[in-house]
Amino acid sequence: MVHNQTSPLPGFQQDHQARHPLSVRSLPVKEQPSYRATYCAEACTTTELLAAIIRGPDQIQIASDLSTRFGDVHGIAAANDIELKETHGIGVARAAALKAAIEFGRRLNEPPSSLRSIQSPDEAASILLPRMQHLEREEFVVLLLNTRNHVIGEPIVVYRGSLNSSMIRIGEVLRPAVRSNAAAMIIAHNHPSGAPTPSPEDVAVTKAIVESGRLLDIPILDHLIIGRGRYVSLKAKGLGF
């Protein structure tokens, strides 16, 4: 288990006013972040794990600055490229390494596609929430299902930008299901504000897609609105269905 701590590394007296931050090379080998991440990663603080990802002689100070600024892994995951690079010492390569590590961890928590079966809104949200809750802009995705409600492939992004019924073409939403001969689908979009409260526009879009799905014999099982750490099922609320 990763502990979201921002305490300094062993032997490192944190001092943001220091002119000469501690170099990782001054630490004993067994106290260096790369060593600890290799042999006892579960005991590492978030700051230590960050330092191991960042690497370089100034990794300790940079990791400490990131932890102080963003608070925890969720804050870092939600930070965009520009915000990360505003931290001294974070350039293109280190920002990319951080984002790649976060995405790798997210995918590791996903069950293999062949084992994913959707029988409830919670099960659909377990796939969509981790990948959509920290998005900086709105995305509209479809999750395709076979006759046994097993997921077909990965969620497909069909629109990016504000959800507007006058801009969304229903045919574009249903096309992936037609092409894949899917038996049903779940639709979802995120609210970058973090609040998954359905808007009248959300309900109108849902109703239009559900009605069109019926005409093509492609049931829309649910429409999930993804927020920060939570979601709303429009089907459960009877909105648009």
What whole-number distance in Å separates Cα of residue 100 and Cα of residue 88? 20
CATH 1.10.150 range(s) for the chain read 24-108
The rounded distance, in Å, linking the Cα atoms of 198 and 237 is 10
Element (H, E) at 142: strand 139-145
The number of C-alpha atoms within 13 Å of 26 and in the hemisphere containing its C-beta is 13
pLDDT value at residue 233: 98
- Residue 98's SS3 state is helix
Q: What is the pLDDT of residue 132?
A: 93
What is the architecture, at CATH level 2, of domain 24-108? Orthogonal Bundle (1.10)
Report d(CA 78, CA 85) in Å as an integer: 13
* Distance between CA atoms of residues 5 and 7, nearest Å: 6
For CATH 3.40.140.10, list the domain ranges present in the chain: 113-237
Q: Select 113-237's CATH number: 3.40.140.10, 3.40.50.300, 3.40.190.10, 3.10.20.30.
A: 3.40.140.10
Give pTM, 2 decimals: 0.58
| Residue 241: exposure state from Cβ atoms within 10 A (0-12, 13-18, ≥19) | middle
pLDDT of the residue at 108 = 73
Give every residue of the chain whose pLDDT is below 70, as ranges.
1-22, 109-115, 162-166
User: Comparing C-alpha atoms, which of 109, 105, 112 is closest to residue 150?
Assistant: 112
Largest CA distance in the chain: 69
What is the distance of C-alpha 184 from the center of its chain? 24
